[in-house]
Each structure stands twice: as C-alpha cells, then as structure tokens.
Amino acid sequence: MTASLCGGTLRVHVAGDVDLASAPRLKAMLDLSRLEGVYRLELDLSEVTFFSCAGITAVHGTRRDGLSLCLVAAAPPVTRMLALLPLSDRHLQAA
C-alpha cells in the first residue's frame, strides 16, 4: 500500500489481499484524508487480489462532508464485493 498527496488529492494504491489482517493498515492510509486541505480521495484497487468486508469497513469509515471519494480502478474481487452493497452504501464515484 502506498499513499501520495498532491494538492488537495490523496491517492491510495492498494495491492494484494485486503482482509482482517491488512485492513488496519488500509484504514491508517485512508485516515490521511482527514488532513487539513484534503478534499478528494482517490482509491486505486486495481491490484487487489482479495477484498473482504474488513476492506469495506475501512473504506466506509472515511466518509465525511467535503470529501469526494473516487474509485480510480478496481480489480474483480473488489467489484464483486461492492456489487453486494445496497445502492445507498455505494458512496464511491468512478473516476
């Protein structure tokens, strides 16, 4: 996992499994979006090989007023999990 900040945009790139063991690290990366001046969070999940409900919980926890969440790319394990969510919980926008 890597994170980069450019202007008001935080871009987080995730590779490998997102499960109970790795979700706290993902949450810590996503929590960087709470820094002053960050208004957009871009998630690149194109290299994720497994995405559990722990990953959904980590992403869902970043929701706040004034922050735009954008899914830049998603691997099939991510899209399958996101498809299971009720429409009202799909707060990620496609890039």
Write out pLDDT tens, residues 8-39. 999 999 999 999 999 999 999 999 998 889 99
How distant, in Å, are the alpha carbons of 63, 65, 74, 79 from that of 47? 23, 28, 8, 12
Report the CATH fold assignment for 2-94: Transcription Regulator spoIIAA (3.30.750)
Condensed to tens digits (0 to 9), the pLDDT of residues 56-78 reads 999 888 887 788 889 899 999 99
The pTM (predicted TM-score) of the whole model is 0.85
Residue type, position 43, single letter: L
